[in-house]
């Protein structure tokens, strides 16, 4: 998959009433180079409508668009990828349905899961939650930056650090070896989304 640095995920509880497209467009303008629709509360029909609009936005800026969980919606809107959790459809089954040329990412919370994801052909893994987060309900305890260090040593596919990452603590994450950062609340919950993303990019680039 194409190289990326800053991955934004929608989190409409943080959008402060702003439109989904407006929020994600501000993030892309600020430097987000891959983004995901994550909506655990809406009906499939509503998620589909959002996905259709976000796919248009992705095309406008030529950035990959990922759909969380819903492989059927990802196929219907021709999304660039899907993101799976540990309890979703097994990766190899998702690959059969979704195809070789699409991006499949999976959340991992320990090195055994990272190894398995690599073995099963994931394009990237999520590594987290690094810090405590309120953005995910069924979240496991923070894995800390130690998990990043383990992944750096062993795993060769791209990984993105996630969970409680803010401008004020991202340096610790980068120092542990992460080169790609993912966030919900710090990006989409910010007053100035574009500026926040620009600052993330500056910090990531400074360490690369
Ligand atoms: N996945 P925020 S943590 C969606 O560890 C998600 O797999 C996680 O939101 C994981 O940036 C998380 O607001 C929430 O903490 C990230």
Ranges in the chain, pLDDT < 50: none
pLDDT of amino acid 207: 87
Q: Which residue has 């196929």 as its token pair?
A: 75
ipTM: 0.99
Atom of ligand 1 nearest to the CA of 131: 15
pLDDT of amino acid 139: 77
pLDDT of amino acid 140: 83
pLDDT of amino acid 195: 98
Query: Does any domain span residue 22?
Result: yes
pLDDT of amino acid 188: 98
Domain that holds residue 155: 6-207
The CATH number of whichever domain residue 63 belongs to comes to 3.20.20.70
Residue in 5, 38, 95, 102 annotated catalytic: 38
- Token pair, residue 47, equals 């998620």
Residue 39 labelled as part of a binding site = yes
Query: Does any domain span residue 1?
Result: no
Q: How far is ligand 1, taken at its centre, from the CA of residue 16, in Å?
A: 19
Query: Does any domain span residue 179?
Result: yes
The yes-or-no answer on residue 38 being catalytic is yes
pLDDT of amino acid 147: 98
pLDDT of amino acid 138: 79
- Token pair, residue 179, equals 């080169």
């Amino acid at each position: 998959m194409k190289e990326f640095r800053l991955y934004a995920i929608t989190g409409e509880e943080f959008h402060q009433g702003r439109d989904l497209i407006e929020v994600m467009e501000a993030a892309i303008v600020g430097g987000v180079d891959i983004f995901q629709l994550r909506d655990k509360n809406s009906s499939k029909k509503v998620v589909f409508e959002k996905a259709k609009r976000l796919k248009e936005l992705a095309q406008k800026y030529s950035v990959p668009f990922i759909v969380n969980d819903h492989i059927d919606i990802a196929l219907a809107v021709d999304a660039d990828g899907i993101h799976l959790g540990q309890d979703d459809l097994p990766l190899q089954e998702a690959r059969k349905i979704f195809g070789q040329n699409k991006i499949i990412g999976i959340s991992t919370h320990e090195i055994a899961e990272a190894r398995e994801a690599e073995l099963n052909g994931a394009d990237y893994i999520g590594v987290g939650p690094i810090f405590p987060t309120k953005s995910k309900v069924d979240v496991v305890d923070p894995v800390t930056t130690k998990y990043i260090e383990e992944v750096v040593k062993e795993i060769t596919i791209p990984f993105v650090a996630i969970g409680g990452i803010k401008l004020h603590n991202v340096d610790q994450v980068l120092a542990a070896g992460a080169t790609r950062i993912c966030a919900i609340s710090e990006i989409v919950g910010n007053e100035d989304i574009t500026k926040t993303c620009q600052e993330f990019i500056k910090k990531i680039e400074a360490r690369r």
